[in-house]
Chains A and B, each alone.
Chain A
Amino acid sequence: MKTVRYGMIGEKVGMTRVFDQSGLAVPVTVIKCGPCYVVQKRSKEKEGYQALQLGYGEIKERKINKPRLGHLKKAGVPALRFLAEFRWDRLEEYQVGQVLKVDGFQVGDRVDVTGTSKGKGFQGVVRRYGYGGGPKTHGSMFYREPGSIGATDPERVFKGKGLPGGMGGETVTVKNLEVVAVHPERDLLLVKGALPGPAGSKVLVRKRAS
């Protein structure tokens, strides 16, 4: 897994459109990003890899369980809703309890954003895999079926054969998005393009090292 130069936990706010310097309209997603707290450091010596555990989203103390609360108390941070780990590049520059803000990102940076896609439920093969389906008319009686699922000779269905099932609700990472604007005073980050998941869902924003 690649280490990051900077990373944060945020919340997808929604999409809109802004104009750049040359007057072109740019589609952007607004992310409420941070403030994030450094909750724990993971080191090469102890855990075998270096990473920062970050937390985001202040909530009431009674909303989280006691083991989690104790873990946060140890770091000296408030009760937080989300925790996530980021493989971090320069670990020594950060201390436990430190607050990370969006100003760690700059306009023009490229970031990877991870989120959970919208759940689509149990879907057929046409929607899930884009199968063509059959003709709707002329007495076809073969509408949105998967059709043949294999030859008779192997006497089995090959692994990976597309069949109906659950769709969406997966972890999706959108890579190499451009940071269009940063509003540190309001903890907002604007990235070009779309993100997975509904508005209000948790996203992880990573700035790649080198």
Chain B
Amino acid sequence: MDKARVLRSIEGAFLREDLPEVVPGDLVRVYFKVIEGEKERVQVFEGLVIAVKNSGVNKSFTVRKVSFGVGIERTFPFHSPRIERIEILRRGKVRRAKLYYLREKSAKESRIEEKRES
């Protein structure tokens, strides 16, 4: 028995193939279902993807935005059924996989150039 294959087949049922690829530097809008008591509503979180961690079902990504002068970061499990959809607003040109240096930058410095398809 191939253990890794058994695990992958279990995970396969949960993978979200309907979502677009998310890469660091992207400006995204995440539509996330939140449950408040009995009700379920969709919350929108818009910001810059500063990190993508792990792969397979464990894949997660961190979105950063600055709201009223306060930096807010939120990490989503990529394959979570709670994510309704993800909109990619802009693909940024970045040179590293983790954009943690943006935390130390002002809004002006943290502008990211748009990626040009060539």
Binding site for B on A (CB under 8 A): 11, 13-14, 16-19, 22-23, 25, 30, 32, 186, 188, 190, 199-200
Contact = CB atoms under 8 A, between A and B. Distances in A.
Interface of B: 1, 3-4, 6-7, 10-11, 14, 33, 35, 57-58, 77, 79-82
Which 7 A-B pairs have CB atoms at the shortest separation, nearest pair first? A23-B82, A23-B81, A13-B3, A16-B7, A14-B7, A17-B57, A13-B6
Given A25-B77, A25-B80, A32-B1, A19 B14 contact: yes
Given A14-B4, A14-B7, A23-B33, 13 more contacts: A13-B1, A13-B3, A13-B6, A14-B3, A16-B7, A17-B11, A18-B57, A19-B14, A22-B35, A23-B81, A30-B7, A30-B10, A32-B1
A32 B6 contact: yes
A18 to B, nearest CB: 6
Given A199-B3, A200-B3, A18 B10 contact: yes
A18 B35 CA distance: 19
A17 B80 CA distance: 11
A190 B81 CA distance: 19
B51 to A, nearest CB: 18
A87 B1 CA distance: 29
A19 B35 contact: no
A23 B10 contact: no
